[in-house]
Structure 1
Amino acid sequence: MKRPRPLLRFRRLPLRSRLALLTAAAVAFAVAVVSVICWFLVQGKLYDEIDAKLTAQAKQPVPAAQVAFTLSQCTQAPTASDGLNGRPSAYYLQLIQGNGTVCLGDQSAGVITISSSDTDVAKKPNPAEATYRNGTDSDGNPVRVVTAPIVTNHGSSVYPDTALMIGLPLKDTQSTLNELALLLLGVSGIGVIGAGAAGLWIARAGLKPVDRLADAVEHVARTEDLTLQIPVEGDDEIARLSMSFNSMTSALGESRDRQAQLIADAGHELRTPLTSLRTNVELLARSEETGRAIPPADRKALMASVKAQMTELAALIGDLQELSRPDAAIGGPLQVVALHDIAASALERARLRGPELTFSETITPWYVRAEPAALERAIVNVLDNAVKFSPPQGTVEVTLTDGELTVRDHGPGIPPEDLPHVFERFWRSSSARALPGSGLGLSIVARTVQQAGGEIQLHPAQGTGTEARIRIPGAPTPPPQETA
């Protein structure tokens, strides 16, 4: 069985643990960088102090006789006599010639291992040149070394083909640096542990609002209580998340209430035609069972009533099916259609439903982006209302100009107090309750027009009647189709 990768294991940790680990890692990285920089700065400072001491010693004039004596004796082992030029015995003192020969000064602390850079200074002595490096003595102890031309006190600034090497042991300096490294390591460890603990505490404190939100979500999932609201504190991301959750639960609650209201209204609307239909069917069935024939005129009226009720019931069910679909599923995909052609087709259907009425039309071309079948049904519904409320021998005026479709009838009109409710589902004014209809037509119209990006308004017309205005944004005119 394969072990999970570290990244996968990290992702499986709780959010608090991940935040604490990330905080500790970030602090550890920062402390490590600062500690390393601090260590190198201290090292550079200590080396600068050592180099300053070595430079001061190297610049002191050396008696020419002392240089000649040291070269003539050319001792290869440290001696216990007086030091060269009074220098303390803590220093490493030696002369190096261009051929690599080393001659120790009196009271030297030991022999410094030479390098090519030392012989280069001896071959081409220059008073302005000196080299600094870390080296070792013959016993392998670390030494800080300066190699510089010899400056004498007899007028000669340099001694030819010879250089002076002065060294200081680095044992104490490296011990100090090692102690500093241990100190920084300990402080870093304490800092990382403290950062991890602080990160865990901060994560717990910062995620308390998330815990409340999670509890609220679990409560809603368990109880389906959409009235729950989370207190919003501040204006940070958590507050925005809480506001979004409250908005979501409010929207879901309103949607559920509308759904329940729709079901209740649909049941109420279905009860009337079903009751009437049941009564008529029972009368017909009783007539057949008892053998008592219904008079032909009454039977004809009864059958007409049954047919009208079934038509009304079918229309109501169709409207309910239309409203039950989500907005994205209305009709089909939007396409560029000719609004003037759809209006003309709907007008022809309206003439069949109101043959005694006069239809006045003024239609100019206008193209929109909509679903053709849904848009035609919406316009038919508006025209049906005009036909339904027009007086006998009345006139219905239809105008399509600059993308605005206007339908006006000369009926009794809509009372001002009823205008805010005309697009509500199942709402019917007191004057229309005696007429056939489900109260869903204008709701479907408003929904279809809004899906096409337009708007619809109803308001009283001048004189008598009602005027409906539908405005839908225009779309590019489709290119003419080629004919074979």
Structure 2
Amino acid sequence: MAADRPAPAGPGRKGPLAWFRSRPLRSRLALLTAVAVAVAVAAVSLACWFVTREQLENEMDSSLRGTRLDASGVESLLALCHRGTTPPPLAGSYTVQVILAGGGVCTSGKAPIPAGPGDLAVARGQLGDVLHTVKDDAGREMRVYTYPQEGPPGIAVSLARPLSEIDNSMSTLRWVLLLVSGIGVVGAGAAGLWVARTGLEPVNRLTGAVEHVAATEDLTVRIPVEGKDEIARLSRSFNAMTAALATSQDRQAQLIADAGHELRTPLTSLRTNVELLVRSEETGRAIPPEDRRALLASVKAQMTELASLIGDLQELARPDTERPGPLAVVPFHTILRTALDRARLRGPELTFVTDLAPWYVRADAAALERALVNVLDNAVKFSPPRGTVEVRLMRGELTVRDEGPGIPAEELPHVFDRFWRSPSARSLPGSGLGLSIVARTVEHAGGTVAVAPAEGGGTVATVRLPGAPTPPPDTLQGRA
């Protein structure tokens, strides 16, 4: 026959811990407070009960030891017993018993008390005195003190008091302690619930704010911050989070608006050119070959501009915390030479003066090359015909100087903003995203970038990247 096994906990069964966890936080705090107070009160009550009982027993023992029956009283008690008369109880709650060495007993009280071996040993002179607890013939527990009687040996006197005196007092004390403990536990639970409600009020406000943001997507909600405790820190963190989310949302909206504005111009021009070509095919009126070639060249240029703009948007749409690719140790000077080759193709009439010292950095090679091309393209775009572009790389500091018109001081703070272009450069090709991509790439590589007016005219762009003039001894490309 299989042994009985406890039924498994099913969906409808919950253990005490699961039930406790399912309660609201304020209820759990109140319950924990009540339990803690109940344990403390129980411990104090038990300690008080045992200490009081011990104290009462010590007082009873002292009372018994301090009471003595004189010789005349002992003789009178023995005389009554010899005549066969039952001695009347003495005044008070004491029971007096005379014990003879032979085992005879004469008792003045409600019921005789059995004489134990210790009592007989005192009567025979073998012990000085003895104190013990025993039940009398009526079944009452008695505290008995036996001492030898002065005079002729062979007689001992036992004085006894019922322990019910202590039990009655302890019973009263027990009920008092239970009443006080119950009131204390209930009061502690109520106080714990009040403290929990008061202490969790800021959490309730925070919860309400979070629920409001989740329901309405309103990121302007702010929680009042009071004090410097953990709740205040949590409120400040929530306010900072909503502010950051609102800023991110605004930047996304601005990016979409700027992207739509930038895409509108090439798309409009592209649609106009395509419509002219379609109309020529539909009407049968041929466009002169030179005009047709110009239209196709314009369409090609606009398609290239759109592709470049979309690529820039994809680059900037990536979160700021996401790196463009795996970082590796790459030769900065070699990537710069490749970017210079591309820049020379875009400005064949310009003169490039270069001085490149070896420098190895930890970066994404493709993203770094694109950023360098953007920096050089800016110099090519703003350089006058037959101008000179100076490119120098020394100990991780790249400087690119052109001989263009320069950038006004009031426009310098905006050169790295997305879609920002100087009013004087609105007629030139570009989307205004190049320097934004440069700043993003350089920051991901742990460097800095700056643009400033050059002495004697023109503009100088400075890119600084941490690294070393020689590659690591083990490999040129290490993991990030």
Interval of TM-score (by shorter of Structure 1 and Structure 2): 0.7 to 0.9
Counterparts of 1:12 and 1:277 in 2: how far apart (Å)? Answer: 64
Find the counterpart in structure 1 of residue 167 from structure 2: 174
Find the counterpart in structure 1 of residue 378 from structure 2: 385
Find the counterpart in structure 2 of residue 209 from structure 1: 202
Superposition deviation, residue 426 in structure 1:
0.4
Q: 1:478 pairs with 462, 472, 477, which one?
A: 472
Find the counterpart in structure 1 of residue 21 from structure 2: 11
> 2:356 matched to 1:349?
no
* Change in 2 beyond 3 A, CA 1:51/1:467: farther
Counterparts of 2:220 and 2:202 in 1: how far apart (Å)? Answer: 19
> 2:355 matched to 1:362?
yes
CA contact (8 A) 1:342 1:376 kept: yes
Q: Deviations over 1:406-448 (max 9, x none)?
A: 2222222211101111111100011221111111111111112
CA contact (8 A) 1:78 1:109 kept: no
Find the counterpart in structure 1 of residue 3 from structure 2: none
Secondary structure at the residue paired with 2:108? coil
Find the counterpart in structure 1 of residue 46 from structure 2: 36
Q: 2:292 pairs with 280, 284, 299, which one?
A: 299
Aligned ranges 1:28-67 → 2 under 5 Å: 28-57=38-67
Counterparts of 1:370 and 1:465 in 2: how far apart (Å)? Answer: 29
* Change in 2 beyond 3 A, CA 1:66/1:134: closer
Superposition deviation, residue 398 in structure 1:
2.6
Q: Deviations over 1:275-313 (max 9, x none)?
A: 111111122222233333333333222222211111111
> 2:136 matched to 1:137?
yes
Counterparts of 1:317 and 1:117 in 2: how far apart (Å)? Answer: 110
Counterparts of 1:165 and 1:35 in 2: how far apart (Å)? Answer: 35
Q: CA RMSD in A?
A: 3.7
What is the TM-score with the length of structure 1 in the denominator?
A: 0.83
Aligned ranges 1:44-443 → 2 under 5 Å: 44-57=54-67, 80=87, 90-91=94-95, 93=97, 104=105, 107=108, 134-146=133-145, 150=148, 166-443=159-436
Find the counterpart in structure 1 of residue 6 from structure 2: none
**Structure 2 segments unaligned to the other structure (5+ residues):** 1-9
Which of 430-439 and 405-414 deviates more? Answer: 405-414
Superposition deviation, residue 138 in structure 1:
4.0
Superposition deviation, residue 145 in structure 1:
4.4
Counterparts of 2:367 and 2:343 in 1: how far apart (Å)? Answer: 16
Secondary structure at the residue paired with 2:398? strand
CA contact (8 A) 1:78 1:110 kept: no
CA contact (8 A) 2:122 2:148 kept: no
Counterparts of 2:54 and 2:335 in 1: how far apart (Å)? Answer: 89
CA contact (8 A) 2:89 2:109 kept: no
Q: Deviations over 1:52-80 (max 9, x none)?
A: 223334xx6987x979x98xx999x9951
Superposition deviation, residue 181 in structure 1:
0.8
Aligned residues: 463
Counterparts of 1:310 and 1:408 in 2: how far apart (Å)? Answer: 30
Which of 44-53 and 362-371 deviates more? Answer: 362-371
Which of 243-252 and 431-440 deviates more? Answer: 243-252
Q: Deviations over 1:336-356 (max 9, x none)?
A: 333333333323332333333
Q: Return the letter of the residue paired with 1:7.
A: L
* Change in 2 beyond 3 A, CA 1:288/1:183: same
Counterparts of 1:398 and 1:48 in 2: how far apart (Å)? Answer: 103
Q: Deviations over 1:144-189 (max 9, x none)?
A: 3456x748579xxxx89x9876543210111111111111111111
Q: Return the letter of the residue paired with 2:473.
A: P
CA contact (8 A) 1:226 1:253 kept: yes
Secondary structure at the residue paired with 1:337? strand
Q: Return the letter of the residue paired with 1:251.
A: A
Superposition deviation, residue 315 in structure 1:
0.4
* Change in 2 beyond 3 A, CA 1:389/1:111: farther
CA contact (8 A) 2:96 2:107 kept: no
Which of 131-140 and 324-333 deviates more? Answer: 131-140
Q: Percent identity over the alignment?
A: 59
Counterparts of 2:81 and 2:366 in 1: how far apart (Å)? Answer: 115
Secondary structure at the residue paired with 2:424? coil
Which of 22-31 and 285-294 deviates more? Answer: 285-294
CA contact (8 A) 2:95 2:107 kept: no
Find the counterpart in structure 1 of residue 5 from structure 2: none
Counterparts of 2:118 and 2:344 in 1: how far apart (Å)? Answer: 113
Counterparts of 2:114 and 2:356 in 1: how far apart (Å)? Answer: 109
What is the TM-score with the length of structure 2 in the denominator?
A: 0.83
Counterparts of 2:127 and 2:336 in 1: how far apart (Å)? Answer: 105
Secondary structure at the residue paired with 1:467? strand
Counterparts of 1:105 and 1:469 in 2: how far apart (Å)? Answer: 120
Superposition deviation, residue 197 in structure 1:
2.2
Q: Return the letter of the residue paired with 1:237.
A: E
CA contact (8 A) 1:61 1:153 kept: no
Secondary structure at the residue paired with 1:266? helix
Q: Deviations over 1:82-105 (max 9, x none)?
A: 98xxx97704656698xxx85546
* Change in 2 beyond 3 A, CA 1:33/1:278: same
Q: Return the letter of the residue paired with 1:4.
A: K
Q: 1:464 pairs with 454, 457, 463, which one?
A: 457
Secondary structure at the residue paired with 1:398? strand
Counterparts of 1:456 and 1:463 in 2: how far apart (Å)? Answer: 21
Counterparts of 1:366 and 1:103 in 2: how far apart (Å)? Answer: 118
CA contact (8 A) 1:78 1:106 kept: no
Superposition deviation, residue 220 in structure 1:
2.1
Secondary structure at the residue paired with 2:405? coil
Superposition deviation, residue 266 in structure 1:
0.4
* Change in 2 beyond 3 A, CA 1:264/1:133: farther
* Change in 2 beyond 3 A, CA 1:467/1:168: farther
CA contact (8 A) 2:360 2:471 kept: yes
Q: Return the letter of the residue paired with 1:41.
A: V
CA contact (8 A) 2:351 2:387 kept: yes
CA contact (8 A) 1:24 1:192 kept: yes
Q: Return the letter of the residue paired with 1:142.
A: E
Secondary structure at the residue paired with 2:473? coil
Superposition deviation, residue 135 in structure 1:
4.2
